[in-house]
A = this chain, B = another copy of it.
């Protein structure tokens, strides 16, 4: 039995394991790595001897959950709700999640049109306190708008407070945003953010490790944070009290070699205490989107190519090719105009434009989009863009 078996068996096996094993369970991750997904599924279904590292009680709990798991049903429910399951090895899998080692998600449930892999390449997390101040909400919104206007994808946790302000800031700038939830992606949480999360799924992406219908728990919130940290090139904390969960995200980002940043605030505010603590450590103080991009835009393995597209135009998906073809040759155009030229919706056009940006074909300038110089040059020269 190898780690990568039959694709369908692998997919259903991982959906099964996403139901049985809790997010971030390193023993489960080790089993998948050592025995392969198919074998771990069989052992859990058979309920025999525990796999190494699990106590009898733990194993009993897992076997009990395995008995109730119905991966085909989960997949059907998800598909009906427009949700797909992305696993390690898939074209859409964001490879940087593999940095999580054995705590890598079994797979991610994804709602929304864009490619998670493409979007994650140029993404930044903006997280912070739920009970934020007006100052914090203002700063998070402005920062997210600024990042979106410069073509960066804003990732957050969909929560009240800073998270919500960051998502809204990106959406308001006609930009890209990803909500990483600690529950099923078909079950928006918090309930008061149902409309916001649905809007994110329309214009961006809603993702999570937990199967359809599953509910959040305190430990799931904490473990969700490692996904936000690993997915993005850096994490910016805007307001956090002393023991805030967003500090967990920032520290996870640091351990993963991602950039950790903080926006300072008044030292008289309890909601800036956690951020200032981070900034007295290794985190970098940032005050606006330009400073964030100055840091995370620095070339690295996850950085967008600066010398033009790396993927030949012929290999683009037809929908992305249509959007690329709709960009005018020598000026900036709004997403609506490009959408109309590509005969698609503005939300779909935006999804494709961010993917094309990750690939180096286009740039965002304020409210509009234009071809990169490299794309124009290669088009004029009659050669393909690589």
What is A's interface to B at a CB cutoff of 8 Å?
A: 135, 138-139, 263-268, 272-273, 276, 279-280, 284-288, 291
Which B-chain residue is minimally distant from A279 (CB atoms)?
B285
| Residue in B264, B286, B288 whose CB lies within 8 Å of A285 | B264
> In whole Å, how far is A265's beta carbon from the nearest beta carbon of chain B?
6
By DSSP majority rule, is chain A's interface helix, strand, loop, or mixed?
A: mixed
Query: In the complex the two chains form, is B266's CB within 8 Å of A135's CB?
Result: yes
Query: In the complex the two chains form, is A291's CB within 8 Å of B285's CB?
Result: no
In the bound complex, residues from chain B placing their C-beta under 8 Å from that of A287 are 267, 273, 276
Which B-chain residue is minimally distant from A265 (CB atoms)?
B266
List 29 A–B pairs whose Cβ atoms lie within 8 Å, in order of A's numbering.
A135-B266, A135-B268, A138-B268, A139-B267, A139-B268, A263-B267, A264-B264, A264-B265, A264-B266, A264-B267, A264-B272, A264-B276, A264-B279, A265-B265, A265-B266, A265-B267, A266-B266, A267-B287, A267-B288, A273-B287, A276-B285, A276-B287, A279-B279, A279-B285, A280-B284, A280-B285, A280-B286, A280-B291, A285-B285
- In whole angstroms, what is the CA distance A135 to B268 when docked? 8
Which B-chain residue is minimally distant from A133 (CB atoms)?
B266
> In whole Å, how far is A284's beta carbon from the nearest beta carbon of chain B?
7
Which B-chain residue is minimally distant from A273 (CB atoms)?
B287
> In whole Å, how far is A295's beta carbon from the nearest beta carbon of chain B?
10
In the bound complex, residues from chain B placing their C-beta under 8 Å from that of A264 are 264-267, 272, 276, 279, 285
- In whole angstroms, what is the CA distance A279 to B280 when docked? 10
In the bound complex, residues from chain B placing their C-beta under 8 Å from that of A265 are 264-267
- In whole angstroms, what is the CA distance A291 to B268 when docked? 15
> In whole Å, how far is A290's beta carbon from the nearest beta carbon of chain B?
12
